[in-house]
Amino acid sequence: QLLGAWGAEIVLTDPERVMEGAIEAADRIARERRGFRPRQFDNPANPTVHAETTAIEILEALGDRPLAAFVAAVGTGGTISGVARLLREARPETRIVAVEPASSPVLSGGAVGPSKIQGLNAGFVPNNYDERLVDEVLTVSDREAWDMKLRLAREEGLLVGISAGANVVAALRVGGAFEPGAHVVTILCDTGERYFSLGEFFE
């Protein structure tokens, strides 16, 4: 609806093919119209910009304080791979934890399945995801992510998306394994405004 309001042409693809169907359609349209595709799942600029900006911001915010863990949901793989790339050099003791939907645990070697956590279910392991940098993969259910999204809005005043809810669920789980006062960083990666129409799917 939002894109349509801006005048975009919406092309729907087979939901059972998850992101692969959308990528094929985007490639076809780009060829036909001689357009440009950023290719966020395999463009190395994606993790590189996170290594050069997001990771720097995290380290500057921490200062001299130790970082017990960095927790990030995997969509394109750019955020976790880019941030982890710098953390491995600057804070090698930091535990790097990836997050994926419990209903589609492809990073863990499981089967592709439907998930209501938008942005986290590509249906394949992205080329930009560097598993060598990751210590652990946690799964979060659709329900957990949605409930945390609501809690963050009502209790913290943070209007975030469902994937951000998944990140916080996983970060709290990871934080429970450390001593009180340990620092665990995660990412609140999108706004909740675009998800108002999805509440019925979680009832």
Task: Please indicate, yes or no, whether residues 165 and 135 belong to a single structural domain of this protein.
Answer: yes
Q: How confident is the model at residue 97 (pLDDT cuts 50, 70, 90)?
A: very high
Residues 108 and 29 in one domain: no
pLDDT value for 191: 83
Q: Is position 15 within any domain?
A: yes
Residue 160 has what pLDDT?
A: 94
Tell me: the pLDDT tens digits for 5-36? 899 999 999 888 888 889 999 999 999 999 99
Same domain, 52 and 133: yes
Q: Are 126 and 147 members of one domain?
A: yes
The pLDDT of 134-141, averaged and rounded, is: 98
Of 35 and 193, more confident: 35
Whether 114 is in a domain gets the answer: yes
For residue 149, the one-letter residue type is: K
CATH number of the CATH domain containing 119: 3.40.50.1100
Q: 2: pLDDT confidence band, cut at 50, 70 and 90?
A: confident
Percent pLDDT > 90 in the chain is 77
Beta-carbon count within 10 A of 37 CB: 12
By mean pLDDT, which of 4-13, 102-111, 142-151 is the weakest? 4-13
Has residue 39 been placed in a domain? no
Can you give the pTM of this predicted structure? Answer: 0.91
The strand order across the sheet containing 136-140 reads: 136-140, 95-101, 69-73, 184-186
pLDDT of res. 51: 98
Same-domain pairing of 101 and 13? no
pLDDT value for 82: 98
Structural domains in the chain (count) = 2
SS3 24: helix
Rounded alpha-carbon distances, angstroms, from residue 74 to 32, 109, 160: 30, 14, 16
Residue 201 has a pLDDT of: 53
Question: Among residues 37, 114, 46, 50, which one has the least CA distance to residue 83?
Answer: 50
Q: How far apart are CA 201 and CA 99, in angstroms?
A: 21
118 found inside a domain:
yes
Please indicate, yes or no, whether residues 26 and 73 belong to a single structural domain of this protein: no
> Does some domain include residue 38?
no
* Domain span including residue 28: 2-33
7 & 107 share domain: no
Residue 40 lies in a domain: no
More confident residue, 185 or 14: 185
pLDDT at 202 over 70: no
